[in-house]
């Protein structure tokens, strides 16, 4: 079942301008759903608010202490058939009545599926509280909590069925990783050691624990500045008196800390808040509530790569390990000072904790949390429901940041280019293809600078023989690896890139095309002798693209000869259960059947078409299993007659598979290939075994790999370029589906080749 028109999820919650953690949480959840699924899934709000002014962002409103509002609004919601589910953000203090039991009036009338998120889970309940929570949950078939401890409490203390409880961590904002020393420049704090705490102030935060620890900390590190970020919680201000802040202010004066404590007494917008956290050397978490189920402030601090010294509450006990920070007893200033000094004394430890915290919280980014929540919605509404993703915007920020005047750098540490890794022909060839595709699709003149840069790198790597070196170090010297590593595959990718430029000659400046043509023609002597199957395949692709522009019959002859080698490999290795060119599947597998299809499009030989179809069907059967797309593992690869390893999936294979599916779809017009393209691309969007996105929404980069339990967060050139290639193809595919065709790599199919795949196979069988 597919959603054809946008369906609605209604959130029952507080909402901005109300200033509280749940209001912010709900806003961030809705923003993420809209970003990821907004074309098919929309969000509406039922605001729990005692304010009389109308909030234009909300569709419904319930006064928490007016009992009649609950049933009335539930009835109004029932009248809107587009609302498919109500997601209740539950906190006992939000709703009127004993334990907030006015909410039952709402649930009694409501005729929609309900999902709860419990922001507080109280352990060791008395009989009345236990009975109420069980009754509340009986109206729903799914309950979301944010920690495993909360789940255990619901199971053991409330006897709730574990099968309806889902643990989804508190969402965190995606940020670009940077060291605190760099982030401090935004606030002119380069010469201060920054400690911070943030959130709406209340006595439960126990900020005084950190303030009392400061004198000892300052003895060790005299330039310490403690930032207390955020205004006072409105519920703690009585008769316009802010007693808690006044108390903290007097404590600062008493301890003579005026030069070491700075109150940022306002509600910070998210970008400013995240920048303050990134500028923090150590985050001090000081809550004194041992049963606090979850803390958004703590989660945000971890996500901004803050090393943490935290009081020991339920949430910090579960999440914080010695890799990310240190735990101290509640309200123990002496221990907080001691552990803070420990971190201040060891810069390497702080740096490793910062990186560990950052890596740990990528799984809880709002994008990843939203994927989990939407899957929960589908179970409550319809397990077969398909909610298509929005395609992410194509962002070239990281690719450009990785590019110097010489070319694109090979690796990065998270999103920071690692210049010591040098440059490769492989990456610059792929980058050249990607930027040509982007230029043809979007006609951005700024792309030409990068096209020239990557083409110049290929020129720089070409030797007098016409072949290419692959490795160039950070100082633009040829690397010694060129002397002992097989360079056939990288050389063939250069041919593919040069052929791409030439095939786009109607779109690119003549000077660029001429440069590519000179390099291409210089290489034609040695490419006839290539032996590696993938090198042959990439070369055939480049020759085909060259031929589409120049109609050079010599290219046809070379393609025919190179194809014979692939056919020989296929005949030697292919059996009924293994229709493949080798006894194993490794990387870039789809380029082999793709090359055979290109060969067929050039020669018209049915044997080439048969092998293309047979081998690609075989490969797809290994990558699309039970309706799910899974990349061939790089852990030992997929050996013939051996049970394959799982995990170790790389973006390069996803991208190459999409490229091949595009060619097969355009050639045979079989909708199966179109569907598979979408499923393969959705791997980047979180349809993988970890249900995590594989791209960085901030930089536009792509993560280097999907492992068993984690994502490799480094954004190297290969991964980023291959992801961008796939994005541009899907952009073309989207335009193609809507009738606005952008021909990037359209095969020149002769009229006698216009058989569908099924027609062709039937013809062969007959």
Is the model's pLDDT at 189 over the cut of 80? yes
Quote the pLDDT of residue 758: 52
Indicate if 199 and 342 belong to the same structural domain: yes
Indicate if 91 and 20 belong to the same structural domain: yes
Helix extents (H) in 17-87 = 21-37, 67-78
Using alpha carbons, select from 294, 340, 263, 403 the residue that is nearest to residue 724: 403
Determine the angle formed by the axes of helices 296-303 and 270-278, rounding to 10 degrees. Answer: 60
Indicate if 580 and 715 belong to the same structural domain: yes
Is the model's pLDDT at 611 over the cut of 70? yes
612 contact partners, CB below 8 Å, separation of at least 6: 593, 594, 596, 597, 599, 600
Indicate if 751 and 703 belong to the same structural domain: yes
Whether 144 maps to a domain, the answer reads: yes
Percent residues over pLDDT 70 in the chain: 94
Whether 378 maps to a domain, the answer reads: no
Mean pLDDT score across all residues of the chain? 92
The Cα–Cα gap between 682 and 40 comes to: 16
Question: How many of the other CB atoms lie within 10 Å of CB of 224?
Answer: 22
pLDDT tens digits for range 489-525: 999 999 999 999 999 999 999 999 999 999 999 998 8
Indicate if 649 and 743 belong to the same structural domain: yes
Q: pLDDT class for 4, splitting at 50, 70, 90?
A: low
Indicate if 321 and 234 belong to the same structural domain: yes
Whether 1 maps to a domain, the answer reads: no
Q: Are strands 416-424 and 624-625 parallel, antiparallel or unpaired?
A: unpaired
Question: Which of 128, 145, 167 represents a domain boundary (last residue)?
Answer: 167
Do 251 and 241 contact (CB within 8 A), yes or no? no
Quote the pLDDT of residue 747: 45
Whether 515 maps to a domain, the answer reads: yes
Question: How many of the other CB atoms lie within 10 Å of CB of 214?
Answer: 23
Quote the pLDDT of residue 140: 95
CA 490 to chain centre: 28
Q: pLDDT class for 3, splitting at 50, 70, 90?
A: low
Whether 60 maps to a domain, the answer reads: yes
Indicate if 349 and 402 belong to the same structural domain: no
Return the structure tokens found at 429: 């060839």
Quote the pLDDT of residue 741: 41
Return the structure tokens found at 210: 């950190």
The Cα–Cα gap between 335 and 485 comes to: 55
Question: Which of 167, 197, 230 represents a domain boundary (last residue)?
Answer: 167
Question: Which CATH number belongs to the domain containing residue 162 in this structure?
Answer: 3.40.50.2000
Containing structural domain, residue 479: 397-765
Using alpha carbons, select from 196, 22, 25, 172 the residue that is nearest to residue 698: 172
Indicate if 574 and 628 belong to the same structural domain: yes
Question: Which helix or strand (DSSP H or E) is residue 251 part of?
Answer: helix 243-254
Return the structure tokens found at 137: 């949950």
Quote the pLDDT of residue 200: 85
Whether 761 maps to a domain, the answer reads: yes
Q: pLDDT class for 384, splitting at 50, 70, 90?
A: low
* Strand partners for 423: 409, 472
Return the structure tokens found at 200: 């709406």
**Angle at the Cα of 752 from the Cα atoms of 747 and 758, rounded to 5 degrees:** 80
- What is the rounded average pLDDT of the residues 617-630? 94
Percent residues over pLDDT 90 in the chain: 83
- What is the rounded average pLDDT of the residues 325-340? 97
Q: Which long-range contacts (CB under 8 A, 24 or more apart) does 748-756 make?
A: 748/548, 748/601, 749/601, 749/666, 749/667, 750/601, 750/604, 752/604, 753/600, 753/601, 753/604, 753/667, 755/668, 756/668, 756/669, 756/670
Q: Hey, which bits of 91-172 come out as E strands?
A: 114-118, 142-145, 165-167
Question: Which CATH number belongs to the domain containing residue 619 in this structure?
Answer: 1.50.10.10
pLDDT tens digits for range 137-157: 999 989 999 999 999 999 999
Domain count, the chain: 3
Indicate if 150 and 200 belong to the same structural domain: no
């Amino acid at each position: 079942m597919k959603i054809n028109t946008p369906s609605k999820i209604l959130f029952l919650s507080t909402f901005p301008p109300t200033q509280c953690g749940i209001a912010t949480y709900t806003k961030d959840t809705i923003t993420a759903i809209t970003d990821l699924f907004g074309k098919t899934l929309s969000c509406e709000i039922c605001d729990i608010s005692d304010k009389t002014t109308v909030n234009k962002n909300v569709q419904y409103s319930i006064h928490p202490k007016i009992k009649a509002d609950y049933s009335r609004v539930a009835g109004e919601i029932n009248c809107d058939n587009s609302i498919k589910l109500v997601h209740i953000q539950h906190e006992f203090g939000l709703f009127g009545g004993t334990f907030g039991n006015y909410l039952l009036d709402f649930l009694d009338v409501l005729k929609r599926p309900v999902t709860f998120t419990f922001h507080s889970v109280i352990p060791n309940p008395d009989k009345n509280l236990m009975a109420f929570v069980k009754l509340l949950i009986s109206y729903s078939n799914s309950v979301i909590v944010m920690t495993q401890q909360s789940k255990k409490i619901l199971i053991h203390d409330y006897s709730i069925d574990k099968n309806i409880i889902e643990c989804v961590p508190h969402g965190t904002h995606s940020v670009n990783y940077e060291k605190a020393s760099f982030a401090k420049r935004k606030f002119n704090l380069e010469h201060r050691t920054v400690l911070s705490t943030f959130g709406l102030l209340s006595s439960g935060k126990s900020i005084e624990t950190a303030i009392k620890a400061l004198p000892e900390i300052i003895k060790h590190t005299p330039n310490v500045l403690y930032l207390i970020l955020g205004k006072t919680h409105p519920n703690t201000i009585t008769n316009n008196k802010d007693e808690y802040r006044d108390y903290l202010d007097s404590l600062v004066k008493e301890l003579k800390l005026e030069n070491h404590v700075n109150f940022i007494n306002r509600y910070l917008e998210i970008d400013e808040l995240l920048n303050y956290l990134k500028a923090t050397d150590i985050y001090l978490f000081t809550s004194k509530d041992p049963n606090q189920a979850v803390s958004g402030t703590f989660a945000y601090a971890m996500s901004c790569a803050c090393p943490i010294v935290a009081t020991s509450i339920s949430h910090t006990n579960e999440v914080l390990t010695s890799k990310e920070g240190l735990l101290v007893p509640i309200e123990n200033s002496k221990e907080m000072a001691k552990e803070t000094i420990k971190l201040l004394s060891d810069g390497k430890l702080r740096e490793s904790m910062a990186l560990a915290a950052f890596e740990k919280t990528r799984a809880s980014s709002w994008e990843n949390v939203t994927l989990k929540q939407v899957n929960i919605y589908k179970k409550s509404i319809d397990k077969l429901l398909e909610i298509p993703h929005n395609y992410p915007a194509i962002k070239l920020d990281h690719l450009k940041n990785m590019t110097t005047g010489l070319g694109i750098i090979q690796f990065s540490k998270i999103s920071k280019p690692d210049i010591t890794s040098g440059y490769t022909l492989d990456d610059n060839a792929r980058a050249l293809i990607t930027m040509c595709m982007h230029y043809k699709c979007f006609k951005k003149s700024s792309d030409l600078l990068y096209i020239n840069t990557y083409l110049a790198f290929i020129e720089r790597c070409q030797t007098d023989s016409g072949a290419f070196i692959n490795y160039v170090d950070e100082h633009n010297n040829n690397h010694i690896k060129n002397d002992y590593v097989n360079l056939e595959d990288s050389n063939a990718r250069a041919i593919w890139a040069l052929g791409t430029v030439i095939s786009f000659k109607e779109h690119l400046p003549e000077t660029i095309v001429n440069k590519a043509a000179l390099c291409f023609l210089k290489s034609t002597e040695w490419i006839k002798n290539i032996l590696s199957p993938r090198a042959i395949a990439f070369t055939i692709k480049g020759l085909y693209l060259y031929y589409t522009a120049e109609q050079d019959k010599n290219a046809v002859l070379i393609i025919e000869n190179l194809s014979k080698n692939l056919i020989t490999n296929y005949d030697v290795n292919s059996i009924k259960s293994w229709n493949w060119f080798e006894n194993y599947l490794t990387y870039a597998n789809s380029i082999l059947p793709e090359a055979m299809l290109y060969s067929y499009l050039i020669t018209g030989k049915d044997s080439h078409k048969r092998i293309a179809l047979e081998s690609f069907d075989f490969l797809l059967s290994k990558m699309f299993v039970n309706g799910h797309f899974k990349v061939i593992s790089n852990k030992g690869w997929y050996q013939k007659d051996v049970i394959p390893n799982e995990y170790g999936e790389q973006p390069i294979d996803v991208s190459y598979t999409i490229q091949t599916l595009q060619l097969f779809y355009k050639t045979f017009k079989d909708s199966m290939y179109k569907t598979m393209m979408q499923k393969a691309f959705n791997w980047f969007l979180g349809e993988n075994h970890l249900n995590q996105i594989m791209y960085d929404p901030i930089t536009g980069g792509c993560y280097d790999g999907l492992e068993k339990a984690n994502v490799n967060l480094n954004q190297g050139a290969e991964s980023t370029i291959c992801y961008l290639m796939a994005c541009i193809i899907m952009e073309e595919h989207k335009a193609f589906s809507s009738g606005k065709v952008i021909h990037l790599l359209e095969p020149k199919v002769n009229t006698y080749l216009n058989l569908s795949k099924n027609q062709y196979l039937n013809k062969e069988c007959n």
